[in-house]
Amino acid sequence: MSETTKPYALITGASKGIGKAVAYELAKQGYPLLLVARSDAELKALSADLQVKYGINTAVLSIDLSIEGASQKVTDWIKTNNYPVGVLVNNAGYGVWGDFSQSALTDQLGMMQLNMNVVVELSHLLIPILSQEKQAYILNISSTAAYQAVPTLAVYSATKAFVLSFTRALRFELAQTSISVTCFSPGPVDTGFAARAGLNPFNKMAEKFNMQPDEVAKIAVKAMFSKKSEVIPGFTNVISVYANRILPKAFIEKTAAGIYKI
């Protein structure tokens, strides 16, 4: 497929972190981009940089996806502008760190809305649009936290387990269609996640396993276009997920609690 005929790739949470890195990776491959996030200024700066560096078409939509009805607004924006979308990257999400009983319920529910509901909503709303392409892709960003319960990140890890399970089932359902579905589950990545989650800044344990957004994005995009079902980047992360399958859950949860302790 030539660069001029490639469909758009829609990326949520595109203004920073993994989403921003995925935008650059797709831009390098000539994909025009639909960039969605809350920060209008950051989105416009990213859009301008991508256009200058790679000569691609970009469009931005500044919107808080955690607000009810936001996914429909994104879809209406796509339809109004007749954007042909061939790639959906469900990346937007955040974590809330701390003891569940001591965390604000509104924060937990907002996280659930963004991490789970928006993934379901956008997938459902955009499958008819994706189906119009000869080959289309859905890339759902989960986490290694999906494979275990994580004390002090209790709801976050549960939301990522949902994304993993949902993606597996959706991939099976769409197996005979033109849409390939991939779940990508990174471990710690050097982004603003920790600060957004409110992680203890004095606990450096998790930082030792950090990967860089650009290397993670490269693996994610390659996995998506290779039609992989489920990918965990990084040898240490693969080993940790494997350990979750064979070691006692109580031991795994105690270890996780030690890493993310308050």
Alpha carbon distance 149, 168 (integer Å): 19
Instruction: Tell me, yes or no, if 254 is annotated catalytic.
Output: no
Catalytic annotation, pick one of 16, 20, 160, 228 = 160
Cβ burial of 175 (10 Å; 0-12, 13-18, 19+) is: exposed
Catalytic annotation, pick one of 8, 31, 156, 260 = 156
Instruction: Tell me, yes or no, if 160 is annotated catalytic.
Output: yes
CB-based burial, 129-143: b 16+ in 10 Å, e otherwise = bbeebeebbbbbbbb
Alpha carbon distance 247, 241 (integer Å): 10
Alpha carbon distance 140, 64 (integer Å): 18
DSSP 182: E
Structure tokens that stand for 77 in this block? 């924006």
Contact 118, 102 (CB under 8 A): no
Contact 152, 97 (CB under 8 A): yes
Annotated catalytic sites, by residue?
156, 160
